[in-house]
Amino acid sequence: MAAPAAPAPTGSAAARAVRNVVFVDGVRTPFGKAGPKGMYAETRADDLVVKVIRELLRRHPELPADRVDEVAIAATTQIGDQGLTIGRTASLLAGLPRSVPGYAIDRMCAGAMTAVTTTASGIAFGAYDIAIAGGVEHMGRHPMGEGVDPNPRFLSDRLVDESALVMGQTAENLHDRFPHLTKERADAFAAASQAKYDAAVKAGKIGPEFVPVATRSAEQGWGLATTDEPPRPGTTVEGLAELKTPFRPHGRVTAGNAAGLNDGATGCILAEEETAKELGLPIGMRMVGYAFAGVDPEVMGVGPVPATEKALSRAGLKIDDIGLFEINEAFAVQVLAFLDHFGIADDDPRVNQWGGAIATGHPLASSGVRLMTQLSRQFAERPDVRYGITTMCIGIGMGGTVIWENPHWNGGEK
């Protein structure tokens, strides 16, 4: 979908056209379990990002390092080894030229997504030709909310419900608001996510995007992370039904129908389309548009609905135009709310066909680029599909959606 030309500005400035932005390639570390027993317990967060940046450049020797115009890396908890303007520090540690700038960004779970949309906007405007965008979260070292001091007015002035600051409670609130989204449906969706992920791994669909990471343990010595740690193959609905509901007595949200606490990093190369062609870079997807939207913080899981409606409206598309969906599975109930709103079946094959975060994990700010990387690889296999979306809910009451076009589209022929 060609980008529209921008209106000519007034005054002496030259008219400027909006340029097409493409997703070249994405990689990620295997995702680990957070905590002292997780595989990254003694690995620094910034080192995970360094591995990702180096892998992107290793896979694409046709990209001179000095052609990278910006590095944007997201982290939800910007402290310790996730602090100090991690986009800049990680780029230096990765060996990029000192002339390449970088910065850090935070939009909680949609950090990497926002790193992509922000740098893509710069590319479309003409400020950059090529950027690296991604995210990292080491929830074992830095639990969400570490070091924060929420303003007491949020509660004293009743600006938000107390539950808005606890993501699991917001998921319980979503069950309350939509009682037809039962625990049984959530458990069935979660079990299906685990099964789809397991099948995708066995079929070689998940794995090629991994960058192996050397790990160290004072007790066990050196290791090599090559696979995701969180998945639970063989998960059954019956097993999920027995799990505790930690956010509410007799609740509906469990560790089995929600993403866990995880560590990991992601990254991708974005480029102006003609620049990508000039350098011989592959074109995995073309960005069509994006949108972010706010919702009541106490039901933040519904955020992808208005974000998607806004993005579709601005792109002149309808939900029926979308052939593939990558929806972040922070909680099963928030995916179900999205599907119900748009009249999509729980088991629609267009949705998360390789499983989702309930299986693979959700290292907060990194997850947006995982969604994009998977969609890009799915596009390569599905030339009959023209459009896909990546969408996710965001803490404190938001949602984000990016619409992508498949450059391999063949006009709809099967």
Q: What's the rounded Cα separation, in Å, for the pair 170 and 14?
A: 48
- Tell me how many degrees the CA angle 406-227-395 measures, rounded to the nearest 5: 65
Per residue of the chain (414 residues), give pLDDT as tens: 444 444 445 444 556 789 999 999 999 999 999 999 999 999 999 999 999 999 999 999 999 999 999 999 999 999 999 999 999 999 999 999 999 999 999 999 999 999 999 999 999 999 999 999 999 999 999 998 888 898 999 889 989 999 998 999 999 999 999 999 999 999 999 999 999 999 999 999 999 999 999 999 888 899 999 999 999 999 999 999 999 999 999 999 999 999 999 999 999 999 999 999 999 999 999 999 999 999 999 999 999 999 999 999 999 999 999 999 999 999 999 999 999 999 999 999 999 999 999 999 999 999 999 999 999 999 999 999 999 999 999 999 999 999 999 999 998 776
- Tell me how many degrees the CA angle 333-304-192 measures, rounded to the nearest 5: 40
Residue type, 142: H
Q: How far is CA 25 from the centre of its chain?
A: 14
At 74 the three-state DSSP class reads: strand
Q: What is the pLDDT of residue 403?
A: 98
> Is this model's pTM higher than 0.75 or not?
yes
Largest CA distance in the chain: 69
Residue 266 dihedral angles phi and psi, to the nearest 5°:
-135, 160
- For each of the domains in the chain, give its residue range(s) and CATH number, in order of start: 21-141+260-404 (3.40.47.10)
Q: Is 138 a catalytic residue?
A: no
Catalytic residue among 138, 142, 175, 362, which? 362
Q: Is 180 a catalytic residue?
A: no
Strand 322-327 with 285-294, pairing: unpaired
Catalytic residue among 142, 175, 268, 393, which? 393
Give residues with Cβ within 8 angstroms of 7, minimum separation 6.
none
The secondary structure of the chain in percent helix, strand, coil, rounded to multiples of 5, reads: 35, 20, 45
Q: What is the pLDDT of residue 129?
A: 98
Residue 410: count other Cβ atoms within 10 Å of its Cβ: 12
Q: Which of 257, 253, 214, 204 is nearest to 232 (CA)?
A: 257
Q: Is 268 a catalytic residue?
A: no
Q: What is the pLDDT of residue 11?
A: 46
Q: What's the rounded Cα separation, in Å, for the pair 32 and 62?
A: 31
Catalytic residue among 109, 138, 142, 268, which? 109
Q: What's the rounded Cα separation, in Å, for the pair 257 and 355?
A: 13
Q: What's the rounded Cα separation, in Å, for the pair 111 and 398?
A: 12
